[in-house]
Amino acid sequence: MKQEFPGAVPEIPVTNVDLAAEYYESRFGFVKDWGGEDGGIAQVSKGDCRIFLANRAFREQYGNAAPVLIWLNLNSKQEVDDLYETWSRCEARIVSKPESKPWKLHEFTAADLDGNLFRVFYDFSRELADRGEAAKSGPDAVAEEIDKLQGTWKQITYEKDGVKEPTDEQGWEPTTLFTADTFVVTLADGRIAIKGTFKLDPTQEPKTIDWTDSFGEDAGKTFPAIYWLEGDLLVFCAADEGQERPTEFRTRPGQVLRVSQRVSPL
């Protein structure tokens, strides 16, 4: 099927069409093209982006309700940052500031009056490929990545089975020391909880790593994982032994995600 589609026009659930349209104009820089509260629907646009704003009465037969998420794909990190600055000056509701994420999106989030979200992003994975950072292969790439891991890392965020900061590890405050291809996890009270080795492949997308414990309650087990490493920040998401390797940086049952910051190099 080779037919080309035009740009999709999302219908955004709002409480009052006139108030929502005014917000989109004054905060987001859209222009109201037609419609209003009396008819239950209006169109706002900016460049090639068109959006319908529809109130409860208009939407009643379909049942769609707020909040919804709208993705805006811009052409560079600079465009994302510039739009953030513009919307901030216009006093739009900013949910999160621009940040380059482990999943290789540079993004920020804003909201309208009804809590509908705009996720403004740029996919910078192509930039990495163009610079050759995602195209390295073989032993050199592995050795370079292992070298980046060397040193002591302190865990700053933890998620397990879809739950952020569960209580099962409360007070642990683990730090991990990487030496060559080995790791040692030490808890806040000085106890060594885990020792082991790892194998990684930075040529995969996302990058993969296998943790094999040699000491601790899971000694002898290997946990398939994906990871993201940039500067002094390390993120990995691992599955229980025997499960499939995660494909994204969020957890499902049987998975754990840990975010660590480098404390000191080796």
CA pair distance 92, 27, nearest whole angstrom = 5
**How many structural domains comprise the chain?**
2
Provide mean pLDDT across the span 144-167: 90
pLDDT of residue 31: 96
Mean pLDDT for the chain overall: 90
Tell me if 32 is assigned to some domain.
yes
Average pLDDT over residues 160-186: 90
Residue 28 in this model has a pLDDT that exceeds 50: yes
| 117: containing domain | 11-127
Residues 78 and 162 in one domain: no
- 2 within domain boundaries: no
Tokens of 229: 């490493």
- Residue 102, pLDDT > 80, answer no
pLDDT at 130: 56
Domain boundary among 99, 127, 155: 127
> How would residue 134 be classed by pLDDT, with cut points 50, 70 and 90?
very low
Q: Determine, yes or no, domain membership for 3.
A: no
Among 110-114, 134-138, 150-154, the minimum mean pLDDT is found in 134-138
| pTM as predicted | 0.55
151 plus 241 within the same structural domain: yes
Residue 211 lies inside a defined structural domain of this protein: yes
- Same domain as 92, residue 158: no
Q: Does any domain span residue 1? A: no
Residues 142 and 243 both lie in one domain? yes
Do residue 248 and residue 148 come from a single domain? yes
pLDDT digits (tens, 9 = 90+) for 33-49: 999 999 999 999 999 89
Last residue of some domain: 78, 102, 127?
Answer: 127
- For residue 68, count CB atoms less than 10 angstroms from its CB and return exposed for 0-12, middle for 13-18, buried for 19 or more: middle
Look at residue 118 and tell me if it is in a domain: yes
Give me the pLDDT at residue 57, please: 93
CATH number at residue 44: 3.10.180.10
Is residue 82 domain-shared with residue 164, that is, in the same domain?
no
Are 20 and 96 within one domain? Answer: yes
Domain check: are 180 and 240 in the same one?
Answer: yes
**147 plus 260 within the same structural domain:** yes
- Peptide bond connecting 246 to the previous residue in cis, omega within 30 degrees of 0: no
Q: Which is higher by pLDDT, 215 or 165? A: 215
Q: What is the pLDDT of residues 45-91, one digit of tens each?
A: 999 899 999 999 999 888 788 789 899 999 999 999 999 999 999 99
Q: In this structure, are 143 and 189 located in the same domain?
A: yes
Is 143 in the same domain as 123? no
CATH of the domain at 148: 2.40.128.280
Confidence band (pLDDT; 50, 70, 90) for 147?
Answer: very high
Residue 5 lies in a domain: no
Whether residues 120 and 149 share a domain: the answer is no
Range with top average pLDDT, 35-49, 59-73, 97-111, 128-142: 35-49
Residue 135: pLDDT band (50, 70, 90) is very low
Q: End of a domain among 74, 95, 127?
A: 127
Torsion region of 183: left, alpha or beta (phi above 0 gives left; psi -120 to 50 gives alpha): beta
Q: Residue 132: inside a domain, yes or no?
A: no
